[in-house]
């Protein structure tokens, strides 16, 4: 661990903090339908979209209508992407003449990008054509990110409203999110990446002749445009197999910093938008503080674990009276180093963005424990765009409920009484996540020829590879331990894993929103537990750790924790 590493963490934290308020104000204005500086340009386009699509912008939806529209939109885009993948050999913008994608892989990929997961069981540059990358995958990066944001805003809106049976209009919310937030942000961001050296073209791959007389194929294409929304929308799917470790995706220290900041900028801004839209700015900051505490703890642990040399290498060096290396550099780009890789891994697994600039499979056991635990907490440490906020608000309801039990009062949250139905919906959300992960992991490890036949490691590390895959899928993260090879069974099961982790968990959120919107607002009393204090932030952190981490502790004990203990005794896998 070095001063330079901590300086990078501090710089990132300061810049992130400075963006929270202005980004939050802009997000709130857009999503409340207020005037923004882009209105003169985009308002006519917005009205034209409503007219062409037959959207009645003044029509409000109840939570069931909102959910039906969200599910229908997502299902239609999933089917369209599947068709594009299967037919890409017959479609234009395929200069490499790549064949159509196989049925099971096309299903897995379509489900992956529909759910904002971007799990990639394929090598992108040799599997997907330019048309598939742009019309099938990059568009999904926009759509899935917008869906996450609008569901979160529907929940926030329901907290603000009183005696209302409606929570907004899905089509209006989605259109405004795409037009005013994701498209302008990605356009500016892509230009910055191009300026840093990221390719943006439709050329055929370059064939280079090396000094040894061999030939080398250099992949390129519309990289910057996909990279921008990949990060800004917390999607994570790379244009290249090496993802953000590839110099064409992440060429400079500045591009690396931009990617880190862009992953957190909308989720962090949404916490301020929460406080602004509900009339309680302090509550927004308390939620931000809880997220930041968990983020800082994760980075510190991961950086500490990777900054120490491998125990066996350290022991051998001591016996030979040599100096041990300064840390675990396996799986890390030298140009990024340990601190940048630790920060990148922490941020991407905090924020349901599967991008990587180092290989998680090569981390030390305790280092690999951190990204896995980050996802297991429910992707609420800032989380995905929108999904992180509504996931954290589920824990807020749980925290308020627990606080009410401790003082013997009916729990209240920002003027709304938290009753049995609200707690049931929040617990349903919390229980679905570990149920799908642990069930599918157990099934696959009990089928050695199917589930363990493609793992590259045995023992606890092999278990971690399978557990990480289903955790990443259900958490809509998309990163991997990278030691798990694809097969038909994994393509199908992880596809369903991602869909359940996205849409089955969204339904309780919208049901909770519909119920909260109908409630009357009651004034605070001397017995009301405030949700805008440091005490509440600490309670919220505790609830996230208890409900999230302890649920998975037995599985973690059999995976990375056991591997760490056996590594200390000289056992490798």
pLDDT in tens, 158-178: 999 999 999 999 999 999 999
Cα 201 to Cα 225: distance, rounded to the nearest angstrom: 10
- What's the half-sphere exposure (Cβ side, CA atoms, 13 Å) at 239? 29
Instruction: Report, as an integer, the average pLDDT of 265-275.
Output: 95
- 127 φ/ψ angles, rounded to the nearest 5 degrees: -125, -40
Residue 348 pLDDT greater than 70, yes or no: yes
Nearest to 16 by CA among 319, 279, 343: 343
List, for residues 445-489, the tens digit of each pLDDT value: 888 788 887 888 888 888 999 999 999 999 999 888 877 888 889
Q: Retrieve residue 4's tokens.
A: 């330079």
Nearest to 544 by CA among 227, 357, 239, 293: 293
Residue 376 in domain: no
Find tokens 């899928």 and name the residue.
Answer: 473
Q: Retrieve residue 457's tokens.
A: 């490691």
- Give the confidence band of 260 by pLDDT, cuts at 50, 70, 90: very high
Domain that holds residue 67: 23-208+219-278
Cα 560 to Cα 562: distance, rounded to the nearest angstrom: 6
pLDDT at 275: 94
User: What percent of the chain shows pLDDT beyond 90?
Assistant: 65
Cα 289 to Cα 275: distance, rounded to the nearest angstrom: 13
Residue 374 in domain: no
472 with 353: CB under 8 angstroms? no
Q: Which residue has the higher pLDDT, 337 or 23?
A: 23
Q: Where do runs of H (alpha helix) occur along 137-252?
A: 139-160, 170-177, 183-196, 223-232
pLDDT at 552: 92
Cα 13 to Cα 15: distance, rounded to the nearest angstrom: 6
Q: Retrieve residue 281's tokens.
A: 């700015």
- Angle of the 139-160 helix axis to the 387-407 helix axis, nearest 10: 30
Across the chain, mean pLDDT equals: 90
- Give the confidence band of 315 by pLDDT, cuts at 50, 70, 90: low
Q: How many CB atoms lie within 10 A of CB 282?
A: 13
Cα 417 to Cα 521: distance, rounded to the nearest angstrom: 8
Find tokens 């393509």 and name the residue.
Answer: 491
366 with 349: CB under 8 angstroms? no
Cα 28 to Cα 119: distance, rounded to the nearest angstrom: 30
Residues 6 or more apart whose Cβ sits within 8 Å of residue 406:
none
- Give the confidence band of 393 by pLDDT, cuts at 50, 70, 90: very high
**Angle at CA of residue 451, ends 450 and 456, nearest 5°:** 110
Q: Retrieve residue 552's tokens.
A: 């998975």
Instruction: Report, as an integer, the average pLDDT of 384-412.
Output: 89
Residue 168 in domain: yes
Q: What 3 state SS string does 376-402 have?
A: HCCCCCCCCCCHHHHHHHHHHHHHHHH
- Give the confidence band of 322 by pLDDT, cuts at 50, 70, 90: very low
Residue 313 in domain: no
Find tokens 């519309």 and name the residue.
Answer: 222
Residue 331 in domain: no
Cα 385 to Cα 304: distance, rounded to the nearest angstrom: 28
342 with 350: CB under 8 angstroms? no
Residue 346 in domain: no
List, for residues 138-153, the tens digit of each pLDDT value: 898 999 999 999 999 9
Cα 196 to Cα 205: distance, rounded to the nearest angstrom: 20
pLDDT at 433: 93
List, for residues 28-62, the tens digit of each pLDDT value: 999 998 999 999 999 999 999 999 999 999 999 99
Residue 357 in domain: no
Cα 573 to Cα 558: distance, rounded to the nearest angstrom: 14
Q: Where do runs of H (alpha helix) occur along 446-561?
A: 459-474, 488-499, 505-518, 534-544, 550-556
Q: Retrieve residue 508's tokens.
A: 């309780």
349 with 269: CB under 8 angstroms? no
- 208 φ/ψ angles, rounded to the nearest 5 degrees: -105, 145
447: alpha, beta or left? (left if phi > 0; alpha if psi -120 to 50) = beta
Find tokens 């234009």 and name the residue.
Answer: 92
Q: How many domains is the chain partitioned into structurally? A: 1
Q: How many CB atoms lie within 10 A of CB 89?
A: 12
C-alpha Rg value of the chain to the nearest Å: 23
Find tokens 């479609």 and name the residue.
Answer: 91
Residue 562 in domain: no
Residue 317 pLDDT greater than 80, yes or no: no
444 with 451: CB under 8 angstroms? yes
Residue 105 pLDDT greater than 80, yes or no: yes
Strands 412-413 and 416-417: antiparallel
């Amino acid at each position: 661990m070095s001063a330079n590493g901590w300086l990078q963490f501090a710089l990132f934290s300061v810049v992130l903090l400075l963006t929270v308020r202005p980004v939050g104000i802009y997000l709130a204005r857009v999503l409340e339908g207020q005037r923004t500086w882009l209105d003169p340009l985009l308002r006519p386009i917005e009205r034209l979209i409503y007219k062409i699509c037959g959207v009645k912008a003044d029509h409000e939806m109840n939570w069931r209508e909102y959910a039906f529209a969200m599910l229908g939109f997502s299902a239609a885009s999933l089917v369209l992407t599947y068709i594009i993948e299967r037919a890409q050999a017959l479609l234009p913008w395929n200069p490499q003449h790549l064949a159509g994608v196989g049925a099971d892989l096309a299903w897995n990929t379509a489900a992956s990008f529909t759910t904002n997961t971007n799990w990639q069981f394929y090598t992108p540059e040799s599997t997907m054509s330019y048309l598939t990358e742009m019309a099938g995958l990059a568009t999904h990066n926009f759509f899935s990110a917008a869906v996450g944001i609008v569901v979160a805003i529907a929940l926030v809106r329901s907290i603000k409203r009183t005696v209302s049976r409606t929570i907004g209009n899905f089509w209006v919310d989605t259109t405004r999110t795409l037009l005013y937030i994701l498209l302008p942000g990605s356009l500016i961001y892509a230009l910055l990446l191009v300026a840093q050296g990221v390719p943006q073209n439709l050329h055929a791959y370059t064939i280079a002749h090396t000094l040894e007389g061999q030939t080398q194929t250099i992949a390129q294409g519309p990289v910057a445009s996909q990279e921008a929304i990949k990060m800004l929308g917390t999607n994570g799917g790379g244009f290249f197999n090496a993802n953000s470790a590839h110099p064409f995706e992440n060429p400079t220290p500045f591009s690396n910093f931009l990617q880190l900041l862009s992953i957190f900028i909308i989720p962090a801004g949404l916490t301020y938008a929460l406080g602004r839209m509900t009339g309680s700015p302090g509550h927004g900051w308390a939620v931000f503080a809880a997220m930041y505490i968990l983020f800082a703890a994760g980075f510190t642990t991961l950086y500490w674990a990777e900054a120490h040399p491998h125990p066996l290498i350290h022991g051998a060096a001591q016996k030979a009276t040599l100096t041990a290396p300064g840390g675990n550099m396996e799986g890390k780009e030298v140009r990024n180093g340990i601190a940048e890789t630790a920060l990148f891994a922490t941020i991407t697994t905090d924020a349901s963005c599967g991008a990587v600039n180092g290989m998680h499979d090569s981390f030390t056991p305790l280092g690999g424990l951190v990204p896995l635990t980050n996802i297991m907490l429910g992707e609420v440490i800032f989380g995905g765009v929108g999904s992180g906020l509504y996931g954290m608000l589920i824990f807020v309801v749980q925290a308020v409920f627990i606080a009410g039990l401790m003082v013997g009062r009916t729990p209240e949250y920002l003027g709304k009484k938290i009753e049995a139905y609200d707690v049931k919906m929040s617990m349903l959300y919390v229980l679905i996540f570990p149920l799908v992960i642990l069930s599918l992991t157990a099934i696959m490890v009990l089928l050695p020829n199917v589930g363990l036949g493609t793992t590259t490691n045995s023992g606890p590390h092999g278990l971690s590879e399978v557990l990480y895959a289903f955790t990443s899928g259900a958490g809509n993260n998309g990163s991997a331990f990278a030691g798990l090879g694809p097969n038909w069974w994994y393509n199908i099961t992880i596809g369903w894993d991602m869909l359940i982790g996205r849409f089955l968990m969204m339904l309780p959120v919208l049901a909770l929103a519909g119920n909260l919107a109908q409630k009357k607002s009651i004034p605070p009393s001397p017995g009301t537990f405030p949700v805008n204090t440091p005490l509440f932030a600490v309670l919220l952190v505790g609830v996230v750790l208890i409900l999230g981490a302890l649920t998975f502790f037995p599985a973690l004990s059999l995976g990375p924790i056991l591997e760490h203990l056996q590594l200390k005794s000289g056992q490798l896998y």
